[in-house]
Structure 1
Amino acid sequence: MKRQQLALFIGLSLSALSATTLSTTALASQASDPQTVFSQAYQSYLAAVKADENVQQTAKLAYTSGKAVYGKSDDNTANLAINYAKAIKGYGDELNEQRFALYNEAHTILAANHGKQSIETIDALLGQANYTTSAYKAANFLEQVIDIAKTQNKPKFVADMKLEAASLLAKKFSSKKYREAKNYLEEADEYYQENLPENSLERIKADFLMASFAEGRKKYNQAIERLNRIVNVFDSNLNFDHSAELSAHSKLIGLYEKQGKSEEATKHCLAIAKMVPWKESQEQTPLYRVNPDYPLNKAKQGRSGSVAMEFEVDTAGFVKNVSILNSDGGVSFEKSAIKAVEQWRYAPKFEKGQPVSATSQVRLDFKINR
């Protein structure tokens, strides 16, 4: 029987803003019994992916039954292992170890069949980098990815892989691999600015990450410049996913408030309010919040407390007229809670296209970890 190469449901997507197209390869279903079992399992997996339900269970069955058909060293087994790794839901060390083992298995197979410098190994390397617990190993896997990308003679692909590496290192190992992440990001950003239009998805993601790095170094003006560029792109390209624009506005509110520029933050509070339809049943969520200080006398006594408050969110998203509904623990908790909440910012309620004041409530709990 001639073996057919299975479609691999993975892609080198750079963010949630980009989509991966799924493709399939027809499989013979009437060969030996193991082949029939696998064929049925794989078709169930394809249907689960399309319906977006039971993907993990069907991916696991396709992987185990496919391995029985193709053996331990076939590309199809590697691809099925990656599909299964990507389908695993949930968090925790045990699940991450399981994902890593599957990506490691796939990489071993693909490197043996195509060479360690082959492009076929990139997704397995990225998977290992994402799920290893070692910052050193993650950096090593990503360095291999970029070295492989350079062999393709495609500068944008190299930049994309550098951005992917920067995102992963910044997310999981920023304290240990900050410099590597920063260098990768700056190199990718330089390429994008010179070669891609400002409304490209790659530039938007690079701007977000550059803003995050700048904020981490308390270079707030640099972060604000990047995020305002994102907002301007969305303002002139209304067909984009507005969740990214909401995120940019929200981050700008926090940055302006950190600089004491509340009026600058106001326009972004209003922008979010216009973008998100008001629901009477919704609980207003602060766009910027300051945590209350724990009263020193209560901390020394090991005392806990809570404060429930009602307040007005005015037409600019400021908190006004805070009143205590009930509290437990004493006046010092109340004073600390009020002082914090008065610094919060909200998206104001809109009625008939205009901002109006609204009443909201919140409860703050003060607890000492023992």
Structure 2
Amino acid sequence: MTSSIRLRHLFAAVTLSCLSMSCFSAFASEFSQSYTAYKQAVAEKNSELALKYAGEAYELGSVQFGAKSLDTATLALNYATALEVQDQKEQANSLYLLALEVYQSSHGEDALEVLDPLIGAAQTSSNPKTARSLFEDAIDISSDAENRILHADTLSAAFTTLSKTRLYNRKIRNYALDGYEIYKEELPQDSLTRVKAAYIAGSIHFVEKKNSRAIPLLNEVVKQFSALNYTHPYELKAHAYLVELYEREGESDKSTEHCIAIGSMRPWLDDQEQVPLYRQPPEYPLSYVRRGKSGWAEVSFLVDELGFVKEPKILDSEGGSKFSDESIKALKQWRYAPKFVDGSPIAAETRVRMEFTIERKR
């Protein structure tokens, strides 16, 4: 990003300036050592050391360049990023805002250079409305840039942060969908950024029950992640979503391959309880509702090699036989990931307890 490029230039300028004046003081040397250690920590992806040396370089740079200099603001941006990685958002936010003020003063409020501190300040703000305002400014700036990937990155960052707040609405939802459309046009199919964006777009359509839009997106996610030599959490979740999507469409044969895929990815334990990937709640017997009856039914059954429920049997129940009947009827529609042993799916017994409860008005 912009900050890392600027910092490399900053370091070269400081070194050349001091050498030309023969004034490489002990103080300047200490800054140089801290900044070099910071760059090394970043290269080695050592977040704890990056935080330590980013802090040291910022404190030393503040004295050497001045608290309001552009160089110090760039060091503040680095320090803020390291703090954010360690989830120290309050302190990071203060530094992002400091850097933002200096960047806007030096480059102009609508300059591309202000995007890094602007987005950083938005991501670390404790006030959702402030975060939304900052992101809107960032999106306005990135939309005018020639770099469409940069705009998609900004939209995605805004969605990731704001979708977790009470402000989530259709506009924020569209940030993710619009970002994905750009990635789809600009990036190859196997780009991890594009695949992750496809997963998010597919998840949005899944929640909104737009099956025909969700299915191709999530299948693309599964296809791309299947080429990896490790299991990505998005791949597992995409398979799980596809199980439910195909069951919604009444296409159990298509959901089966995803049940099996999930089962093959899991490290199964002998006593591990199987968790349903798709479930239909049992119907509450109308006659029992009228009478205010509550109860439960405990059922054992086999999950076969394809993830279907077989041979359900009532182990115990309370409240009436209709609870048992409805429990079995519902369970026959459930889907599971089959258990794997030595690389092959097997039938395995499990059990569930169905609760039927009527909340009484006080």
TM-score (norm 2): 0.69
Q: Is the 8 A contact 1:174 1:181 kept in 2?
A: no
- Matching of residue 211 in structure 1 with residue 202 in structure 2: yes
Alignment match, 1:162: 155
Q: Tell me by how many angstroms 1:348 deviates.
A: 0.7
The answer on whether the counterparts of 1:208 and 1:226 sit within 8 Å (CA) in structure 2 is yes
Secondary structure in structure 2 of the residue aligned to 1:88: coil
CA 1:62 to 1:347, structure 2 compared with 1: closer, same or farther past 3 Å? same
Residues 315-339 of structure 1, C-alpha deviations (whole Å, 9 max, x = no match):
1112233445567x74587667656
AA aligned to 1:276 is R
Cα drift, residue 225 of structure 1: 1.9
Q: Do 1:307 and 1:326's aligned partners in 2 also have CA atoms closer than 8 Å?
A: yes
> Counterpart amino acid of 1:255?
L
**Distance in 1 between residues matched to 2:316 and 2:106, nearest whole Å:** 68
Equivalent position amino acid for 2:147 in 1: K
**Between Structure 1 and Structure 2, whose CA radius of gyration is higher?**
2
Tell whether 2:306 aligns with 1:316. yes
TM superposition shift of 1:224? 0.9
Tell me the percent identity: 34
In structure 1, the residue matched to 2:213 is 222
Name 1:4's counterpart in structure 2. Answer: none
Q: Tell me which residue corresponds to 1:15.
A: none
Distance 2:332 2:35 in 1: 58
Taking the aligned partners of 1:83 and 1:54, their CA distance within structure 2 comes to 8
* Contact 2:84-2:124 at 8 Å conserved across structures: no
Preserved CA contact (<8 Å) 1:45 1:59: no
Is contact 1:85-1:102 (8 Å) kept?
Answer: no
Instruction: Provide Cα deviations, 1:237-290, integer angstroms capped at 9, x if missing partner.
Output: 455754433222111012122333323211211122233354435332322344
- In structure 1, the residue matched to 2:136 is 143
Structure 2: state its 5+ residue gaps.
6-10, 16-24
- Code of the residue aligned with 1:213 in structure 2: it is I
What is the alpha-carbon distance in structure 2 between the residues aligned to residue 255 and residue 156 of structure 1? 31
1:280 lines up with 2:270 in the alignment: yes
Question: Which one-letter code corresponds to 2:132 in the other structure?
Answer: A
Residue from 267, 270, 276 that aligns with 2:257: 267
Preserved contact between residue 307 and residue 364 of structure 1 (Cα < 8 Å): yes
Inter-partner Cα distance in structure 1 for 2:82 and 2:107: 19
Q: 1:239 to 1:117 in 2, by over 3 A?
A: farther
- Cα distance in 1 between the residues matched to 2:98 and 2:314: 59
Per the alignment, residue 348 of structure 1 pairs with: 338
The aligned residue for residue 179 of structure 1 is: 171
Residue 252 of structure 1: aligned partner:
242
Equivalents in 2 of 1:240, 1:82: separation in Å? 28
Aligned to 2:18: none
Cross-structure match for 1:81 = 80
Distance 1:48 1:192 in 2: 27
Contact 1:289 1:341 in 2 (8 A): yes
* Aligned 1:1-370 pairs, distance under 5 A: 31=26, 59=51, 63=55, 66-67=58-59, 70=62, 72-73=67-68, 74-75=72-73, 76-88=75-87, 100-132=93-125, 136-150=129-143, 152-172=145-165, 175-176=168-169, 178-182=170-174, 184-234=175-225, 237-238=227-228, 242-290=232-280, 309-323=299-313, 330-331=319-320, 341-351=331-341, 353-362=343-352
Shift of the 315–148 alpha-carbon distance from structure 1 to 2, 3 Å rule, reads same
Q: Look up the equivalent residue of 2:96 and give its one-letter code.
A: Y
Q: Distance in 1 between matches of 2:124 and 2:329?
A: 42
**Structure 1 residue 47 displacement after superposition:** 5.9
CA distance in 1, matches of 2:290, 2:31: 63
Partners of 1:116 and 1:232 in 2: CA distance: 43
Unaligned runs of 5+ in 1: 1-6, 10-24, 90-95
Give the Cα–Cα distance (whole angstroms) in 1 for the partners of residues 251 and 231 of structure 2.
Answer: 28
- How many residue pairs get matched? 336
Letter in 1 for 2:131: A
Deviation, structure 1 residue 84: 1.1
Q: Deviations over 1:304-361 (max 9, x none)?
A: x87665331111112233445567x745876676565544321112345543201124
Contact 1:318/1:346 (8 A) holds in 2: yes
Scaled by the length of structure 1, what TM-score is found?
0.68
Q: Per residue, is there more helix in 1 or in 2?
A: 2
Q: What is the distance in 2 between the residues matched to 1:37 and 1:298?
A: 75
Task: Indicate the RMSD between aligned Cα atoms, in angstroms.
Answer: 4.8
Task: Tell me how far apart the structure 2 counterparts of residues 172 and 68 of structure 1 sit (CA, whole Å).
Answer: 37
CA distance in 2 between counterparts of 1:88 and 1:249 reads 31
Contact 1:78 1:109 in 2 (8 A): no
Report the secondary structure of 1:287's partner residue.
strand
Change (3 A) 1:324 1:217: same
The answer to whether the 8 Å contact 2:298/2:354 transfers is: yes
